[in-house]
Structure 1
């Protein structure tokens, strides 16, 4: 249990250990596996820095909900200072209907709430430019009296954030993960159990070549300095321009 966690909102980025061939595979091509892993590591750093920035303005505790087990050291080296590690590999017992990535998400929610936080959010690791203001807004909504959920929808039909004040397993049950129906299915689950769902502004995930182009185009958002440095180091702008011209 973390000291002083009562009256706080935990925000945990879903942190898969950056490994070539296992990280951001939908970005290959145009990236090589080693490059995708390097970009994944930069995303983790920028996302946890964003949580840390938000924590200066709201009662937020940063987490990295990591997988697989045993990868703590590999994940930890890419995190902002003060980020707590939490295993979220879906290995704990799960209610019927909760499968796939939903197991990891619910595992993370349980872990953060069990640590004594008033509310908990799971956060995508694919949105390095996400504005910290959206995390502050999510925390403020959740910290108000009464049970509710907060949804941050992604442009691709998924979501970049889901926040809860209780571990409502129904929010993760019978969801077709990695499809464009995830956010709509989550809205339907909230309605089915009578849970108030508050939505905040949408943002975009960087999980394929098209969304990588959006990132390179410099859409408004936080600076994501580690991500931008990795893009420059890998020469991605010129490579993608050349590929488009061929």
Structure 2
């Protein structure tokens, strides 16, 4: 039986002063918001044509007429106390709904493309877990074909300890580790990056 693939996209509602707050310290709230919207557009561009089920999980409120086309993306609300809880609950629901390979990403990753996302799903045909390490010590992608709740507990989210602690949780498992990539949190992450120069003019 062919695996049923589900991509979970976690997104924050794009509101001034509430997104990319670490970027905003150097660039101001408006530029941080503009960059976040640019990253959202990129996420739509690399995910919209993927031949899999795609769910967008909103941090605050579900928006009907936004960049996430409801004919392509199923829209859901994040549920849980912290990021770990919210991710765990999204995976639980996905497995309950009959999906066998589930991957979660954020909506603010520029250095990823459609092929890399589909390759990550292919890894789950042979491995139980797939993880994309971020340069800052977190991860930009997490996939699994069986639920491991420990991954989502006792983490200091947003710190450089997350990846190491997560790998310790599944160190006896069959894991695929993807290429290390740079996610966008600080000005230093993007100041030399061509795609972002438009925001510094």
TM-score (norm 1): 0.73
Alpha-carbon shift at residue 79 of structure 1 (Å): 2.1
Once the 2 structures are TM-superposed, how far is the Cα of residue 21 of structure 1 from its aligned partner? 1.1
Runs of 5+ consecutive residues of structure 1 not aligned to the other structure? 1-5, 92-99, 219-227, 239-246
1:110 aligns with 2:102: no
Give the aligned partner of residue 11 of structure 2. Answer: 15
Match of 1:88 in 2: 78
Do the aligned partners of 2:111 and 2:183 also contact (CA within 8 Å) in 1?
A: no
Distance in structure 2 (CA, Å) of the matches to 1:50 and 1:135: 9
Deviations 1:87-118 (A, max 9, x none): 22315xxxxxxxx3211211221232222211
The structure 2 residue matched to 1:63, chosen from 43, 55, 79, is: 55
Secondary structure (helix, strand or coil) at the match of 1:28 reads: helix
- Summarize the Cα distance change of 1:113–1:49 in structure 2 as closer, same or farther, 3 Å threshold: farther
Aligned to 1:173: 153
Are residues 167 and 48 of structure 1, via their aligned partners in 2, closer, same or farther at CA, if it must alter by over 3 Å?
A: farther
Displacement of 1:52: 2.4
The reply on whether 1:101 has 2:93 as its aligned counterpart is: no
Deviation at 1:78, TM superposition (A): 2.4
**How large is the Cα RMSD of the aligned pairs?**
2.1
Offset of residue 133 of structure 1: 2.1
CA deviations over 1:129-175 (Å, ceiling 9, x no partner):
3122221111111134xx61100001111100000112210111111
> 2:141 maps to what in 1?
161
Work out whether 1:40 is the aligned partner of 2:32. Answer: no
Identify, as 1 or 2, the structure richer in helix.
Answer: 1
* TM, length-normalised to structure 2: 0.88
In structure 2, the partner of 1:183 is 163
CA distance in 1, matches of 2:96, 2:30: 36
Q: 1:179 deviation in Å?
A: 0.9
On the 8 A contact 2:184/2:190 being kept in 1, the answer is yes
For 1:138 and 1:185, locate their aligned partners in 2 and report how far apart those are by CA, in whole Å.
21
Alignment partner of 1:137 is 2:129: no
Report how many residues are paired. Answer: 199
Give the aligned partner of residue 78 of structure 1.
67
Cα drift, residue 40 of structure 1: 1.7
Deviation, 1:217, is 3.2
Structure 1 residues 42 and 78: CA distance shift in structure 2, 3 A: farther
Bigger shift: residues 179-188 or 108-117: 108-117
Aligned residue number for residue 222 of structure 1: none
Q: Secondary structure at the match of 1:29?
A: helix
Gaps of 5+ in 2: none
